[in-house]
Chain A
Amino acid sequence: MTAPPGAPDLETRAIVKRFGGHAAVAGLSFAVARGSFFSILGPSGCGKTTLLRMIAGFQQPDAGEILIGGRAMAGVAPNRRPVNMVFQHLALFPMMSVAENVAYGLTRRGVARAETARRVEAMLERVGLPGAQARRVHELSGGQKQRVAIARSLVLEPTLLLLDEPLGALDLKLREHMKIELKQLQAAFGTTFVYITHDQSEALVLSDQVAVMNAGRFEQVGSPQALYYEPLTPFVAGFVGANNRLAGQATAVNGDIVELVTPQGLVLRARRRGSIAAGDAVEAYVRPEVALLARDAAALPPGHPVLQAAVDSLLFDGANSAVLLREARTGLELRVALPQTGQFADLRVGETVAVTFDPERAVCFRSGAQGG
């Protein structure tokens, strides 16, 4: 592949795909830098699969342009694109051995038999399956199958590797393990990965850049940290990570801090994202770990408004434990993470606690704000 130097491995220019009157992909332009792990994160039906299939060449965009390694891909069939795909259910060829699976693409390219065998051997070694050539696909474990699927694609040295929720079918334990393995494989090979998923944890753990997709558009493209801490739209704030959504009306805007009042009459403060004027309908997002909990209000850091709340239910989940609280006066429900210190291990349903949060660490949007 002779790509113009400096060109991104993948670039799309205003691509559109319609099904009937519905735009599955509504004018997307983005670029993926060479060697990066790029995820497209979105709920099912957001158009991410359509986008991936257009990049692979299985579907044609109605408008716009796709460039891979700097070359326009219009009219280039999937078997001629410098792109390979790892399918959702991996799609290993059950009628072939592991070696035949990995060798399939090389044989199609007319690589000599001895050279093919050598490259297959080297590739299986790199993905941690040395000597697995003669094994049958059905004898492999879920994780081994995934490695064969990746080996089968990477042995062709594609400019771009597309991954269509390859972890979706695995059980939780294996999924956690494969996440780490995928990240290590990508780092070792340096191939550009474009990964689609609806699982925000996969996207956050694996990616250099994540695009949050909703209704055919990207709401925000950024590093996992940026998406988590600096969401640009209410959708991103709600979709990435757990969040408490508190709708209300802005009563005052002081610089970056918005004061809002919920319909139940609770007054809160949060950091402004985008333009908000007093009187606007707004929604604030407070992450469970941003809120601080104390049995005695005096133990909380001073300077921020303190709410009194009753424990509604305990959501014990080891390090991810949280409580659902009900604010005493307005009945507003809040999810608050329990600190790791174990100081609330004996918390009981019905207890009253004090809660506060730093307004700088909560974000507030005008309702219905759209991504740029």
Chain B
Amino acid sequence: MAEARYPRLMLALLLAPALLWLLGLIVLPHVELAVLSLRARIAPRVYETSLAQYRTFIEEPLYWHTFVRTAVLSVLATALTLLLAFPIAWTIAKIAHGRSRSLLFVLCLIPFWVSETVRTLGWMILLRESGVVPQALVALGLAATPPELLYHDATILVGLVYTSLLFMVVPLIGALDTLDDALIEAAYDLGGSGADILRRIIIPHAAPGITAGCIVVFMLTVGNYLTPTLLGGKNSLWFTEQIYTQFITRFNWEQGAAFGFLLLVLSTAIVWAGLKLAGQRFGDVMRRT
């Protein structure tokens, strides 16, 4: 058989689309971005190699304030998503059976049938001053005038958590599904309390799933553009907005490329720190999910 005779060729052919994609759409643009970020325009159409773009980032407080703010809010959104997703995943993996299990899972999935833009606009319809929620608060006598619920950090967090929930629930279900119920019963039988079983049995078992979910959600959040911009308004100060502005509004590709690289470094550093904190190894996490 051909496959048996040319196993290396078969493997190369099978991997070719993925490798082409990786090379053409990820590696090449990043090399180009790196080159772009390391030059400065000194006169029209005249460039020189320079660290000026990175210097601007450090010297201009708005940029690195936005940078830190994006990181902190993303970590917060990831933590909130985990807290919210864990009971959902637990219910689906351990409590629901058969049809109700599928139904619950579909309920988690349904919001994702709608495009992210439409979903976010849905939040705006609910939360804007003349929207459903502020009007309801007035009608219930909880507020004298309809409050503006958009354009707060909390609103951005709500939107980010909502967008990310599924990406946390799926790896958590995977991790909790493989937890033998007998382990929980055994711990209970040996005198463990609920909190103790969660800490000593369930979380250690689900750690790779938790870590995988947190990495995915953090990456999606830190790189999100639409949700912070729409729900936070012009002053949402999300780092992706700075990148967008440099590339599209200012036409300063060099600065935008430098910001892009800084964002890549930021997310890599935080994921690395998170893995260290959780005592997990990236390879293990990816293999088990």
Residues of A with Cβ closer than 8 Å to B? Answer: 56-58, 77-80, 83-85, 87-89, 91-96, 104-105, 108-109, 152-153, 156
* B190 partner, pick from A77, A84, A88, A89, beta carbons under 8 A: A84
Cβ distance B176 to chain A, nearest Cβ, rounded Å: 14
Q: DSSP class of B's interface residues: helix, strand, loop or mixed?
A: helix
- B190 and A79 within 8 A (CB): yes
Please report the C-alpha to C-alpha distance between residue A94 and residue B183 in the assembled complex, in whole angstroms: 9
Specify which chain A residues have a CB less than 8 angstroms from the CB of B148 in the assembled complex.
none
Specify which chain B residues have a CB less than 8 angstroms from the CB of A108 in the assembled complex.
190-193, 196
24 A-B residue pairs with Cβ-Cβ distance under 8 Å, sorted by A, are: A56-B189, A58-B188, A77-B188, A78-B185, A78-B189, A79-B192, A84-B189, A85-B185, A85-B189, A87-B185, A89-B182, A91-B180, A91-B183, A93-B183, A93-B187, A93-B200, A95-B200, A95-B204, A104-B187, A104-B190, A104-B192, A105-B190, A108-B190, A153-B190
Cβ distance B16 to chain A, nearest Cβ, rounded Å: 38
Residue in B closest to A89 when the chains form the complex, CB atoms: B182
Residue in B closest to A57 when the chains form the complex, CB atoms: B189
Residues of B with Cβ closer than 8 Å to A? Answer: 180, 182-183, 185-193, 196, 200-201, 204-205
Please report the C-alpha to C-alpha distance between residue A56 and residue B190 in the assembled complex, in whole angstroms: 11
Cβ distance B199 to chain A, nearest Cβ, rounded Å: 11
What's the count of A-B pairs with C-beta under 8 Å?
A: 62
> By CB atoms of chain B within 10 A, which of A80, A83, A89, A95 has the most?
A95
Task: From known contacts A93-B183, A108-B196, infer whether A78 and B205 are also in contact, taking CB-CB under 8 Å.
Answer: no
Specify which chain B residues have a CB less than 8 angstroms from the CB of A78 in the assembled complex.
185, 188-189
Cβ distance A66 to chain B, nearest Cβ, rounded Å: 15
Specify which chain B residues have a CB less than 8 angstroms from the CB of A84 in the assembled complex.
189-190
* B200 partner, pick from A56, A57, A83, A104, beta carbons under 8 A: A104
Specify which chain B residues have a CB less than 8 angstroms from the CB of A95 in the assembled complex.
200-201, 204-205
Specify which chain A residues have a CB less than 8 angstroms from the CB of B190 in the assembled complex.
79, 84, 104-105, 108, 152-153, 156
> By CB atoms of chain A within 10 A, which of B191, B192, B200, B205 has the most?
B191
- A91 and B205 within 8 A (CB): no
Please report the C-alpha to C-alpha distance between residue A93 and residue B193 in the assembled complex, in whole angstroms: 16
Given known contacts A153-B190, A156-B191, what 10 new A-B pairs fall within 8 Å (CB)?
A: A56-B189, A58-B189, A77-B188, A79-B189, A84-B190, A93-B186, A94-B205, A95-B204, A108-B190, A156-B190
Task: From known contacts A95-B201, A104-B190, A104-B200, infer whether A58 and B185 are also in contact, taking CB-CB under 8 Å.
Answer: yes
Residue in B closest to A83 when the chains form the complex, CB atoms: B189
Cβ distance B209 to chain A, nearest Cβ, rounded Å: 13
- B185 and A105 within 8 A (CB): no
Specify which chain A residues have a CB less than 8 angstroms from the CB of B205 in the assembled complex.
94-95
> By CB atoms of chain A within 10 A, which of B182, B185, B189 has the most?
B189
Closest 4 CB pairs of A and B: A105-B190, A91-B182, A91-B186, A108-B191
